[in-house]
Structure 1
């Protein structure tokens, strides 16, 4: 029995139209931030110019990352129906076709079908999840430890961002809440017709920060100066990108970077991404946007995806629109 969802079997290949351009360039000059020498002005420069950077000396044990990736791969390698049943019993959202909606029917609601499957776990609810299946035992403990590191990293990075922006750290504290932290683990199946599909189509994240741990199979691309650049996988480094909340908080001084994922012809790709958001009912105030909460923003994104097939995001809240 195949571990891939039926959607990704060759007989069900769906053609995806990518209007964002297919040409790309290798990028070896992605800015590097050293967590052990974290400087607010350095953070500010890359957030303004790039909206994404490579993080080194982050303090996450390499053994933890390797184990988490290995357990994630084992989970994805289970038969498709088994994964569905396990996730239903454990109340873990399992998606395929798109992660924008945590629904098994999400692929039917979007214009483009993303070549991806994944699991989504809110870290604060991890202990409440019934993970009785043997495949989930070690997965949960590894996720929990990884999540603690992610919360530490995001807190330190956000503090440097707030300092660079000259904002009051006390007043902006609700803008990044550990309780909202969630991890999505992704598998991008290999596909012989890579020109017809994308792992994830071009988008920005709705988060404050997104922190990515990827394997050695490339595929992540960012859009800079109207050109796509490949982000090279480098062992024991993380990719940090800003989301829409950071752009709004900074009055558009920082960039919510547009990115996408290409699929590989021969090999599948595994990635693990941590997303963190403001407190649910905290009002984001900006000189560029109407006041909104994280809940209102998320609801609007979901509605736009259902009605238009795509995320619109910040432009929905722009003043004067």
Structure 2
């Protein structure tokens, strides 16, 4: 059901939109932020309106160029990060360079301010299905990770990215690295915009624990599978961190 189809005529949320108390975010203090907005309703003169539209189209082209350059540079960064992970795990450099990180997806998310953040979620708790996620969260906090039985807010740092380990990296590392359960929360003062880049295996690629990490002291924990099958299972379970890996675990 679309929010626009009922929001003008009702005074309360449908039950399916209400998070249970144990899944609500709690209060969050956020920093101030001003977002530039072009209001076409305030452009009355036809010439001004036409000029504004041309400015928007120009901005769109420039935005595309910026996104293209950004994607290239983030891809370079991720390959460096993955090579450092390889070094830490004892794998050869370039292990993730081909099919395992070939698909790059970019998402720009806008979280509007919320009158009561304790009752709403920007994004429910989940794990990412991919290899690794790079998050640029700006100067407004809202990302929380689940650690040691509690939610911890990830403070935004200037000129820094947040690196989130996905399910595929947990499997490839044979459990040595753990996917990060996380969520996004809203706040009552400011909207929040994030840039998220996901690095995924090709749909037809085979994912399995790296053979170099399997030995007598580290038995095989996960079976091999095609990434597209994992995605179908992940989507069906809406990224539930407790069950999404279960079909791929091997019996002890």
Assess same fold via TM > 0.5: yes
Where 1:251 maps in the other structure, the secondary structure is: coil
Q: How does 1:29-40 map to 2 (within 5 A)?
A: none
RMSD across aligned C-alpha pairs, in angstroms?
3.2
**CA distance, structure 2, for counterparts of residue 236 and residue 289 of structure 1:** 37
User: Retained in 2: the 8 A contact 1:24–1:230?
Assistant: no
Alpha-carbon shift at residue 220 of structure 1 (Å): 0.8
**CA distance, structure 1, for counterparts of residue 117 and residue 24 of structure 2:** 14
User: Retained in 1: the 8 A contact 2:27–2:118?
Assistant: no
Where 2:119 maps in the other structure, the secondary structure is: coil
Residue deviations 1:115-164, cap 9 Å, x none? xxxxxxxxxxxxxxxxx955521221111111011100110010111122
Question: Which protein has the larger Cα radius of gyration, Structure 1 or Structure 2?
Answer: 2
Q: How does 1:155-194 map to 2 (within 5 A)?
A: 155-169=79-93, 172-174=96-98, 176-178=100-102, 180-194=103-117
Where 1:195 maps in the other structure, the secondary structure is: helix
After superposition, the Cα gap between the structure-2 partners of 1:9 and 1:143, relative to the gap in structure 1 and judged at 3 Å, is farther
User: Retained in 1: the 8 A contact 2:130–2:167?
Assistant: yes
- Does 2:251 align with 1:316? no
Where 1:271 maps in the other structure, the secondary structure is: strand
Instruction: Give the stretch that moved more between structures: 293-302 or 267-276.
Output: 293-302
After superposition, the Cα gap between the structure-2 partners of 1:167 and 1:184, relative to the gap in structure 1 and judged at 3 Å, is same
Q: How does 1:227-238 map to 2 (within 5 A)?
A: 227-238=150-161
* Equivalent of residue 232 in structure 2, options 296, 299, 308: 299
Aligned residues: 216
Q: Between Structure 1 and Structure 2, which shows a larger proportion of strand residues?
A: 1
**CA distance, structure 1, for counterparts of residue 108 and residue 89 of structure 2:** 32
Where 2:114 maps in the other structure, the secondary structure is: coil
Aligned to 1:215: 138
Residue deviations 1:8-28, cap 9 Å, x none? 9685744222534756999xx
Q: How does 1:54-69 map to 2 (within 5 A)?
A: none
User: Retained in 1: the 8 A contact 2:83–2:94?
Assistant: no
Alpha-carbon shift at residue 234 of structure 1 (Å): 1.6
**CA distance, structure 1, for counterparts of residue 198 and residue 245 of structure 2:** 17
* Equivalent of residue 15 in structure 1, options 9, 18, 22: 18
Where 1:176 maps in the other structure, the secondary structure is: helix
TM-score, length-scaled by structure 1: 0.59
